[in-house]
Amino acid sequence: MTQDRWDVVIVGGGLAGYVSANILGKAGLKTLLVEKANKVGGRAKTDIVNNQYLNIGPHALYKKGRASSILTDLGITITGNAPKKNSIIIYHDTPYIAPFSPKGLVQSKFLSWNEKIEWIGILRKVQKLQSGLFSHKTFQQFVEETTNSFKIQQLLYTLGRLASYSHAPEKISASVMLTHIQLGMGGVVYVDGGWQSIIDQLHNQAVTNSVQIQTGSSVKHLNAIESGEWQLKLSNQETILSKFIIYTGSPQALNGLLGVPSKKLPFNQLEPIKAATLDVALTKLPNPNNLFALGIDEPYYFSVHSNYARLSHDGKSKVLHVLRYHHPNAHINGPDEKLKLEGFLETLQPGWKNYEIKSRCFPQITVNCRLSKVGDETIFSRGLSIAPGLYMAGDWASPYVMLSEAAVESGKQAALEVIDKETGV
């Protein structure tokens, strides 16, 4: 029986897989992308429901990040706007103006005047510091060494959650967290059409460059064979051969695909970052003044994304996201999470259910496949190759960044490493 032979098979059609596919396609390598879902995009997909564009939870692209510049270099056009900085914070059920903008700082009653002066100094310091110097510390250690003010500590944890989605300051590396806070300070964009608009452009370009896309098939086994190639077994019983594989699924699933004992790979101890989200479309906002809010003592996020990006067919409805950041040790009860998210929304938009077009809840979704811990850099000390011809990419496959930054950057790097090997450059 003849088997399909490829230069590269990419496992997964999310951001990382599609960035790799674009680079490999342009380089002329015979490339197949296999995606287990029927629709491509992974966690960057946008569902169109009742003419509303719902990202999977709130998605904001760092304006000054590597992801944005790599996507632009690949010819992807990203339109949308930055949310305004007027926001509220909620502490012990009481709303305060957030001291996150010069005007907010003056008006906010959350901090005393002395604390405000200290807070400005800390923000300036955080903006300028070299985040890499803090790779031996957790973010909690950094915060506790930076200020004795309990409220300023809480503000730093809140900014950290916002920038990284991590609610475990005692675990996350200060260096990665500070990098993401700095990226967040550089501003973000809510994307017109949702993140699917990025995926669709990447998909079309990949197809134009002769990359073949196969959806609805899952890769079940990866075997290194004697010829030096890789043999992939798919869920549809197909077997294919490839010189190289770029794997972009979760690190935890990789052991199973390789059929090796989990202890042999450094990825089995990696913990994901999880959250609960409530994605909502309304005909109107009961309180149009409340557009952005963060919990201080409770780990909540709320933002009306459609005020800054086109997120419905007619552009008239309101699409918003509520999110609750999970601690890795938290025990999650799905129905409770939904009630909590709905309750938080009720405090900001009372009576929102009267205007509901659509709402949906993911009580426990993986936001990032790896919570970056102190010392994680060693996992990546040998680049993105795990075994000869097998490369990893994805939001977990970068030592210094997470989220789309890591997915896009590692997708590019894995493709370049494959091209180097193939062409001997």
Ligand X SMILES: Cc1cc2nc3c(=O)[nH]c(=O)nc-3n(C[C@H](O)[C@H](O)[C@H](O)COP(=O)(O)OP(=O)(O)OC[C@H]3O[C@@H](n4cnc5c(N)ncnc54)[C@H](O)[C@@H]3O)c2cc1C
Residue 272 binds to ligand X (criterion: CB under 6 A): no
Residue 44 binds to ligand X (criterion: CB under 6 A): yes
Phi, psi of 283, rounded to the nearest 5 degrees:
-70, -35
**Which residues, in sequence order, are CB contacts of 214 under 8 Å at separation 6+?**
32, 33, 34, 35
Distance CA 89, CA 294 (A): 5
Interstrand relation of 212-215 and 31-35 (parallel, antiparallel or unpaired): parallel
Contact 174, 134 (CB under 8 A): yes
Residue 219 binds to ligand X (criterion: CB under 6 A): yes
Contacting ligand X within 151-180 (CB under 6 A) = none
**What size, in residues, is the chain?**
425
Distance CA 162, CA 228 (A): 45
At position 181, the amino acid (one-letter code) is I
- The residue among 71 and 97 lying less far from ligand X, judged by its C-beta, is 71
Q: Helix, strand, or coil here: 261?
A: coil
Contact 409, 17 (CB under 8 A): no
Smallest separation (angstroms) from ligand X to the CB of 53: 15
Smallest separation (angstroms) from ligand X to the CB of 223: 14
Which of 13, 160, 184, 194 touches ligand X by CB under 6 A? Answer: 13
- The residue among 376 and 395 lying less far from ligand X, judged by its C-beta, is 395
Smallest separation (angstroms) from ligand X to the CB of 151: 26
| Dihedral sign of CA atoms 289, 295, 298, 303 in order | positive
Residue 277 binds to ligand X (criterion: CB under 6 A): yes
Task: Considering only the stretches 22-30, 38-46, 336-344, 384-392, report the one whose residues sit in contact with ligand X under the rule CB under 6 A.
Answer: 38-46
At position 135, the amino acid (one-letter code) is S
| Site map 178..217 versus ligand X, x via CB under 6 A | ----------------------------------------
Q: Helix, strand, or coil here: 248?
A: coil
- The residue among 40 and 90 lying less far from ligand X, judged by its C-beta, is 40
- The residue among 151 and 220 lying less far from ligand X, judged by its C-beta, is 220
- The residue among 90 and 219 lying less far from ligand X, judged by its C-beta, is 219
Residue 16 binds to ligand X (criterion: CB under 6 A): yes
Task: Considering only the stretches 14-22, 98-106, 327-335, 344-352, report the one whose residues sit in contact with ligand X under the rule CB under 6 A.
Answer: 14-22
Which of 22, 46, 290, 404 touches ligand X by CB under 6 A? Answer: 404
| Site map 336..375 versus ligand X, x via CB under 6 A | -----------------------------x-xx-------
Residue 384 binds to ligand X (criterion: CB under 6 A): no
Q: Which two tokens stand for residue 393?
A: 């990419």
| Site map 232..261 versus ligand X, x via CB under 6 A | ----------------xx---x--------
Distance CA 301, CA 326 (A): 12
| Site map 46..85 versus ligand X, x via CB under 6 A | ----------xxxxx-------------------------
Burial of 413 (0-12, 13-18, 19+ CB in 10 A): buried
Give the alpha-carbon dihedral of 32, 37, 39, 42, to 10 degrees.
-90
Contact 50, 357 (CB under 8 A): yes
Distance CA 38, CA 32 (A): 16
Which of 81, 218, 347, 364 touches ligand X by CB under 6 A? Answer: 218
Residue 399 binds to ligand X (criterion: CB under 6 A): no
Residue 403 binds to ligand X (criterion: CB under 6 A): yes
Which of 36, 137, 171, 318 touches ligand X by CB under 6 A? Answer: 36
Task: Considering only the stretches 41-49, 91-99, 116-124, 136-144, report the one whose residues sit in contact with ligand X under the rule CB under 6 A.
Answer: 41-49
Contact 42, 13 (CB under 8 A): yes
- In 3D space, the residue among 124, 102, 127 whose CA is nearest the CA of residue 186 turns out to be 127
- Other Cβ atoms within 10 Å of 69 Cβ, number: 13
For 150-185, the DSSP string reads HHHHHHHHHHHHHHH----TTTBBHHHHHHHHHHHH
Task: Considering only the stretches 28-36, 130-138, 373-381, 382-390, report the one whose residues sit in contact with ligand X under the rule CB under 6 A.
Answer: 28-36
List residues binding ligand X (CB under 6 A): 11-17, 34-37, 42-44, 56-60, 218-219, 248-249, 253, 275, 277, 365, 367-368, 394-395, 403-404, 407
